[in-house]
Amino acid sequence: MLEITCPWCGPRDETEFDYGGEAHIDRPKDPDKLTDEAWAEYLFMRKNPKGPHLERWMHACGCRRWFNVRRDTFTHEITAVYRMGEKPPGDGA
């Protein structure tokens, strides 16, 4: 089980959190003008890297707030936790 440090509540067990998938996917500004391919890119295409991954978590059993995490998908090591709207620290993923 992961131990995740909520930016507001501190370190907690993974079971307190909901997972929100890849972070920093911006909703298209003008969806009506998108091609089908661009819409598919936004909706479905994912990096799914083996290694550092920027992802969203929500502290469902605590403050119920969303935040971002940088976690390695192979070692499960969490190397950064930062708030929504912030850029990932360092070189990103």
> Which positions lie near another protein, rule CB under 8 A?
1-2, 13-15, 18-19, 21-22, 36-37, 39-41, 43-50, 53, 55, 71, 73-76
Place of tokens 């996917």: 25
Q: How far is the CB of 36 from another protein (least distance, A)?
A: 4
Q: How far is the CB of 84 from another protein (least distance, A)?
A: 18
**Residue 16 φ/ψ, nearest 5 degrees:** -85, -5
Residue 23, CA atoms < 13 Å, CB-side half-sphere: 25
Q: How far is the CB of 15 from another protein (least distance, A)?
A: 5
Minimum CB distance to another protein smaller for 13 or for 86: 13
State how far the alpha carbon of 85 is from the alpha carbons of 44, 68, 82, in Å: 22, 9, 9
